[in-house]
Amino acid sequence: MKSVRFDVLTIFPRMIDFYISESIIKRAIERGIIEVGVTNIRDFAVDKHLTVDDYPFGGGPGMVMRIEPLYRALTHVKGRQKKHTILLSPEGSVLTQAKAVELSQIKDGIVLISGRYEGVDERISHSIDEEISIGDFILTGGELPALVIIDAVARLLPGVLGDERSNVEESFTGGLLDYPHFTRPAEFMGMRVPEVLMSGNHKEILKWQRQQSLKRTMLKKPELIDETKLTEDDKEIIEQLKEEV
């Protein structure tokens, strides 16, 4: 299987290097499932001071990332290949599990541009495929969003997680939030694990898990209920939960 390639353009490469050298992402790289290239935009600056930012035309607060080093870095990384290029920006569409699944299907490679300062020169928009945000808030740069995308996409690839069922059963994969999880000890400070989970009755366990998943979703993210394809049993459970609430 061909590995999936991520290229991150940043002026703080060590931020990326540190994260990808740990845990699941590190193992995915060692297994050849993914590749992560990190390119320092500053290496492509056009002056001796390696300047990557400048004052905005028209005035205004802050600095803007210059087009020349960014464009040169992007051209260098893409070469003659057609790579899906993403600008991390608070103006982009918010990352969802569905978008992570979509990105995991891309085989030609993904380039992630980590902006800084007040933003990047608008002319880079002619060289990108889409803008993505990880939420309606402002960060100091695009490095964290880039890592979030790498993590969200990588764990969907075969062989990255230890148990392939993890992707199937976790939050959002089926449109609902995940059910509660418990492990040893069976009792802690008077709080006991639900008896059904220790009963060995797999049919009842699955039923309990579905009920809890529906209940959590109703209480925490009710909007997801309307977006989920529900069975008749699900609808009956929801009506019972509404009465309880």
Residue 245 three-state SS: coil
Q: Is 139 annotated as a binding residue?
A: yes
Q: Is 106 annotated as a binding residue?
A: no
Task: Give the integer Cα–Cα distance in Å for 222 and 179.
Answer: 15
Place of tokens 């909007």: 223
Q: Is 17 annotated as a binding residue?
A: no
Q: Is 87 annotated as a binding residue?
A: no
Smallest CA-to-CA distance from 86 within 112, 123, 116, 119 is with: 112
Q: Is 57 annotated as a binding residue?
A: no
Task: Give the integer Cα–Cα distance in Å for 117 and 54.
Answer: 10
Q: Is 134 annotated as a binding residue?
A: yes
CA distances (Å), origin 223, targets 7, 102, 235: 35, 22, 15
Q: Is 115 annotated as a binding residue?
A: yes
Residue 74 in contact with residue 127, Cβ under 8 Å? Answer: yes
Q: Could you list the residues known to form a binding site for S-adenosyl-L-methionine, using ranges.
A: 115, 134-139
Q: Could you list the residues known to form a binding site, using ranges.
A: 115, 134-139
